Structure 1
Amino acid sequence: MTTLMMILGIVVFAIGLLFSIAWHELGHLSTAKLFGIRVPQYMVGFGPTIWSRKKGETEYGVKAIPLGGYIRMIGMFPPGPDGRLEARSTSPWRGMVEDARAQSFEELQPGDENRLFYTRKPWKRVIVMFAGPFMNLILAVVIFMGVMMTFGIQTQTTTVGKVSDCVIQQSENRTKCAKGDQAAPAKAAGLKLGDKIVAFNGEPVKDWSALQNDIRANPGKDVTLTVERGGERLDLNTQLIRNQVSKSDGNGGYVEGEYVYAGFLGFTPASGIVQQSFGQSVDRMGDMMENGVESLISLPSKVPALWDAAFGDGPREDDSPMGVVGAARVGGEVLTLDIPPENQIAMMLFLVAGFNLSLFLFNMLPLLPLDGGHIAGALWESLRRNVAKVFRRPDPGPFDVAKLMPVAYVVAGIFICFTLLVLVADVVNPVRIS
């Protein structure tokens, strides 16, 4: 049964992956057609074609390898300086440029002269290339916020999960009290397991993050905690102690290995599934975006640990980069967990949403062959033309993105190597959930 559920989870994630890719390419397709660009192909996947059907002027299909997708637009790159495709060069770098230019015109038909991608104004090309990643962003936001506002997310609450017996500095890394340790304020106040703190000094408590900030901001002060216990409300009085605690990340969590001195009460909050308001969901979505950007920036620094995890004896870190195979494996594990079905559905939706958020951020990198590279080229062209207009210089014409194809091949080669490294790590030393 476990194996069957594992396979089912992988299949469900694969369907979500294919939909995400198709949704991405739909953004490119719809805006390209909106601006009159001819699109001969719309494909989900790479490699051999499994199924295709031509409707109008576009062939729609699915290919064997679900690791991406594409639409083929006519005239992605401008012709050479003489207005035609240039003659074949013996230079390998020049050959890359000419190959890319020739490929963008290989399906040119009579009447396509005014339907070429490069002839569209830069702002239209930016919209066409941005539309794909933007579709992934929309899907990620809708799923994340939908799950948070309807089902909720696992979060720390203001309910007491554990009461500390004594005051211990966080950096001491011990849990047992020693002789001479002072009693924790929570213990002295009579706080008990299961108590829900609803007010701090008479002010209603919104969530754990707010309560944590209130506690830390009042070292050495007498405070009153209002708790719900057995259907009744009780006021508990105590004096907070200044103690060394883990640095807060500002959202109720902690920064590992960093400590500060602040007010200390001495209890561990219980965790539970809590529905989020619209405002809370927006805040958490912003945090996810920020964390995603930080993860993308720190990606190169994680390569050595990833290599050690794949080919050495190193552990696979929880925040280690994970590819499609690893994500599919996690999707399979989700359905084998001994948790309620609604939790499994929420986790699976979060996994698909996270994949879409990653697609958006990754594709916005200003590097060819990514969408962000074409966006950067269009913006640069617009800047050149506007500067020339201001200084009354001749129009420099379209920016020849094809000249950057050697760089694009280098970038693609790096991405392929990184993808293979992640693939090996996902197979031999995968990220696991619990």
Structure 2
Amino acid sequence: MSMTSILLTILGIAIFVVGLLFSIAWHELGHLSTAKLFGIRVPQYMVGFGPTIWSRKKGDTEYGIKAIPAGGYIRMIGMFPPGADGRVEARSTSPWRSMIEDARSAAFEELEEGDEKRLFYTRKPWKRVIVMFAGPFMNLILAVAIFLGVAMTFGFQTQTTDVAGVQKCVISQSEKRETCKESDPVSPAQAAGLKVGDKIVAFNGQKIDEWSVLSDRIRDTIGPATITVQRDGQEKTLHAVLKKNAVLKKDSDGEVIPGKYVSAGYLGFAAQTEIVPLSFGDSVVRMGDMIENGVDSIIALPSKIPALWDAAFSDGERAADSPVGVVGAARIGGEVMNLDVPAQNQVAMMLFVLATFNLSLFLFNMLPLLPLDGGHIAGALWEALRRNVARIFKRPDPGPFDVAKLMPVAYVVAGVFICFTLLVLVADVVNPVKIS
């Protein structure tokens, strides 16, 4: 690796780290602003973990940056209510009970005179939901803003109806070879006289201006077909006989599914690709697809652990859709800066990585599990449900839901997350996801 490549890699990593810190600070700002709006005292607002490298106190909040840029937090007074006996801390020989009371005690650290009216748990459930949801929501706002900005000003690589190459023979895509054999039949495109540079404008007499429509029409046709092309400024009609072939299967969004094949009509040419800015409507649709794919990825995480383990500790191939951690994303940032593409492409790709990271933060934090934000949201919603049911049936108010009782579960969840994070870290170091 040359010195220039090393410097570009370092620059890419540095840019990602700055974007990461901003995303974390932006997330915590959502919690901080809404907590202060509802009169909750917040002693600390920190970006990062570990030793504090800079801090400054303004009002009753200490703002600071810590050494490890892997997260952040705000500390709110009274995250958990006192115990059933009204005490903040109770002694117990049970390790599970100790976890609960330690968490309860920590929630009341730095309690000052007048804080009785500024405790988190004393706020109405809907206010607590807003405070905990505000953090992930800030990441969602940032992801949407970046994505729409990139989509509408720069665009995405899109297949067109222009011909970039013509296949000489019919080869099943499942064979994964490019060289023709003598036994392979001539491709319909080659036999019809399709040439590189042609622009397909109609198929069987029907006008075509989108690759997805043309692709579906070709797949649905086996036998004679007419193909109208623009060549040298003139329209020319070609006659082809499409053959049945094994081609990659498409999902409901029209995207091909790697490794899965179906029998369909086959013409035999490669479509030209170009970067095309999207309209606002198309950008919103693409953003919706991105969110849907993100949700599917979160659900599929457990199923990807075996392949991730093989990639980290054996000869397993690292899949392109494999989970990536902070280290892996930083490496991707370094690779982007080394790509032999225009600077605007690099900027767009870096912004897209940042948008994807923020969307992941939103989706992950919305899981209804402690210690994630979604766990506190679920607790507040459960409390609101209990109190409303009690009011309807004229029963005594059950009081605040004691989320602290779920801390043993939170420790187990945190342990699972830590193990998963370490596994991703090892895979990102020894067998990283690469881009091209």
Counterpart of 2:9 (choices 6, 21, 36) is: 6
Match of 1:430 in 2: 432
Distance in 1, matches of 2:277 and 2:111, equals: 54
Asked if 1 retains the 8 angstrom alpha-carbon contact of 2:89 and 2:102, the reply is no
Is this contact kept in 1: 2:203–2:225, CA < 8 A? Answer: no
Residue 157 (structure 1) aligned with residue 160 (structure 2): yes
The percentage of aligned residue pairs carrying the same residue is 73
Aligned AA (1:213): D
Closer/same/farther in 2, CA of residues 64 and 167 from structure 1, 3 Å limit: same
Asked if the contact 2:47–2:69 (Cα under 8 Å) also holds between the matched residues in 1, the reply is: yes
> 1:202 Cα shift?
4.5
Match of 1:338 among 340, 356, 363: 340
How much does 1:128 deviate? 1.0
Q: Which moved more, 1:9-18 or 1:171-180?
A: 171-180
**Which residue in 2 is equivalent to 1:235?**
237
CA distance in 2, matches of 1:6, 1:267: 37
Query: Does the CA contact (< 8 Å) of 1:209 and 1:250 recur in 2?
Result: no
Question: Which one-letter code corresponds to 2:108 in the other structure?
Answer: F
**SS at 2:190 equivalent:** helix
Unaligned runs of 5+ in 1: none
Q: Is the contact made by 1:160 and 1:196 (CA closer than 8 Å) also made in structure 2?
A: yes
Structure 1 position 199 matched with structure 2 position 202: yes
The alpha-carbon distance between structure 1 residues 169 and 313, as it changes in their structure 2 partners (threshold 3 A), is: closer
2:97 maps to what in 1? 94
**Residue deviations 1:38-67 (CA, integer Å, cap 9, x gap):** 111111011111111111221111111110
User: In structure 1, what residue type is equivalent to 2:357?
Assistant: F
Q: Which residue is equivalent to 1:69?
A: 72
SS in 2 for 1:166: coil
2:10 matches 1:23:
no
Q: Matched residue pairs, number?
A: 433
TM-score, with length taken from structure 2: 0.94
Q: Please, which of 293, 296, 305 is the counterpart of residue 294 of structure 1?
A: 296
1:142 positional shift: 1.2
Q: Secondary structure at the match of 1:105?
A: coil
Query: Would you say 1:318 and 2:320 are equivalent positions?
Result: yes
Deviations 1:356-409 (A, max 9, x none): 111111111111000011111111111111222222222111110000001101
* Contact 2:224–2:239 under 8 Å retained in 1: no
The DSSP-based 3-state class of the residue aligned with 1:222 is: strand
Q: Which amino acid aligns with 1:216?
A: R
- In structure 2, the CA distance between the partners of 1:166 and 1:131, relative to structure 1 (3 Å rule), is same
Which deviates more from structure 2 when the two are superposed, residues 213-222 or residues 370-379?
213-222
Pair 1:333–1:171, CA change in 2 (3 A)? closer
Conservation of the 8 A alpha-carbon contact between 1:209 and 1:251: no
- Measure how far apart 1:147 and its partner are: 0.8
Deviation string 1:401-431 (CA, Å, 9 cap, x unpaired) is: 0000011011111111111121122222222
SS of structure 1 residue aligned to 2:39 = coil
- Against the structure 1 CA distance between its residues 234 and 279, is the aligned structure 2 distance closer, same or farther, given a 3 Å change threshold? farther
Q: Which amino acid aligns with 1:353?
A: A
Using the TM superposition, give the Cα deviation of residue 252 of structure 1 relative to its aligned residue in structure 2, in angstroms: 4.5
**Native 8 Å contact 1:212 1:252 kept in 2:** no
Residues in 2 aligned to 1:335 and 1:404: alpha-carbon distance in whole angstroms: 45
SS of match in other structure, 1:298: helix
In structure 2, C-alpha distance between the alignment counterparts of 1:86 and 1:290, rounded to whole Å: 44
Distance verdict in 2 for CA 1:184–1:311, change over 3 Å: closer
- Shifted more, 201-210 versus 39-48: the winner is 201-210
Question: Which residue pairs with 1:226 in the alignment?
Answer: 228
Q: In the alignment, is residue 33 of structure 1 matched against residue 36 of structure 2? A: yes
The CA deviation string for residues 144-165 of structure 1, in whole angstroms up to 9 with x for no partner, is: 1211111111232222122122
Give the deviation of 1:137 after TM superposition: 1.0
SS of residue in 1 equivalent to 2:97 = helix
Q: Which residue in 2 is equivalent to 1:134?
A: 137
Cα gap change, 1:278/1:201 in structure 2, threshold over 3 Å: closer, same or farther? farther
Q: Secondary structure at the match of 1:140?
A: helix
Aligned to 1:366: 368
Instruction: Classify 1:176/1:7 alpha carbon distance in 2 versus 1 (closer, same or farther; 3 Å).
Output: closer
Instruction: Label 1:257 to 1:326 Cα distance change in 2 as closer, same or farther (>3 A).
Output: closer
Residue of structure 2 aligned with 1:144, choices 147, 151, 158: 147
Q: What TM-score comes out, normalization by structure 1 length? A: 0.94
Aligned partners of 2:366 and 2:197: how far apart in 1? 46
Change (3 A) 1:150 1:201: farther
Counterparts of 1:119 and 1:345, CA distance in 2: 46
Distance 1:79 1:93 in 2: 17
Which stretch of structure 1 is more off in the superposition, 333-342 or 239-248?
A: 239-248
Deviation at 1:279, TM superposition (A): 2.3
How many Å separate the matches in 2 of 1:308 and 1:219? 42
Amino acid paired to 2:7: L
1:47 counterpart = 2:47: no
Whichever residue aligns with residue 397 of structure 1, its letter is: G
The offset of 1:211, in angstroms, is: 1.7
Q: Please give the secondary structure, in 2, of the residue aligned with 1:113.
A: helix
Aligned-residue offset at 1:8: 0.8
Task: Verify: 1:309 aligned to 2:303, yes or no.
Answer: no
Task: Give the distance between the partners of 1:69 and 1:373, measured in 2 at CA.
Answer: 17
Shift of residue 176 of structure 1? 4.1
Paired with 1:279 and 1:205, the residues of 2 have a C-alpha distance of 21
In terms of mean alpha carbon deviation, does 173-182 or 6-15 score higher? 173-182
> Counterpart of 1:380?
382
Report the counterpart of residue 255 of structure 1 in structure 2: 257
From the superposition, tell whether residues 428 and 179 of structure 1 become closer, same or farther in structure 2 (CA, over 3 Å). closer
RMSD of aligned C-alpha atoms? 1.9
Give the Cα separation in 2 of the matches to 1:37 and 1:198. Answer: 63
Secondary structure of 1:76's counterpart equals coil
Could you tell me whether the CA contact under 8 Å between 1:366 and 1:372 is conserved in 2? yes
**1:75-114 aligned within 5 A:** 75-114=78-117
Greater Cα offset, 261-270 or 31-40: 261-270
Superimposed CA distance per residue, residues 313-360 of structure 1 (whole angstroms, 9 cap, x where no aligned partner): 323222222111111111111111111111111111111111111111
Once residues 313 and 182 of structure 1 are traced to their aligned partners in structure 2, the CA distance between those partners, rounded to angstroms, is 38
* Structure 2 alignment gaps of length 5 or more: none
